[in-house]
Amino acid sequence: MSIRVRYFASLREKMGRVEETLAAEGLETVSDVWRAVSEGRPLPEQILCAVNMDYAMPESAVKDGDEVAFFPPVTGG
């Protein structure tokens, strides 16, 4: 099992990828996931996160099979 990580909008372009899959081992929070995909950098303050399509906080728990998403501030409407 694993964690699916997705990126949207300007962050997707900065990351240079749409999504990736990580082994869930050792990943306990959204922050852990971010560090794993960004060479250990802290999560930028303005970046929003979601777990399984609900807004989450950096300290929110993640588990095997979750979908975690990172994206910039939203600009719809």
Partner 1 sequence: MPVELRPTGFDPFAEMVRHQEVLRDQGHAYGATACFIGTMRDFNEGEPVTRMLLEHYPGMTERHLDQILEAARVRWRFLDALVIHRTGEVLPGDPIVLVSVWSSHRGAAFDACRYIMEELKSGAPFWKRETVEEGERWVESNTSGY
Q: Return all residues near 10 (Cβ < 8 A) that are at least 6 apart.
A: 72
Q: Which is nearer to partner 1, 10 or 63 (CB)?
A: 10
What's CA 41's distance to the chain center, in Å?
A: 13
Q: Which of 4, 8, 15, 43 binds partner 1 (CB under 8 A)?
A: 8
Q: Which is nearer to partner 1, 55 or 65 (CB)?
A: 55
Q: By CB under 8 A, what part of segment 36-65 binds partner 1?
A: 50, 53-55
How far apart CA 28 and CA 20 sit, in angstroms, is: 17
Binding of partner 1 at residue 77 (CB under 8 A)? yes
CA torsion sign for 47, 49, 54, 17 is positive
Binding site for partner 1 (CB under 8 A): 6, 8-10, 50, 53-55, 69, 71-77
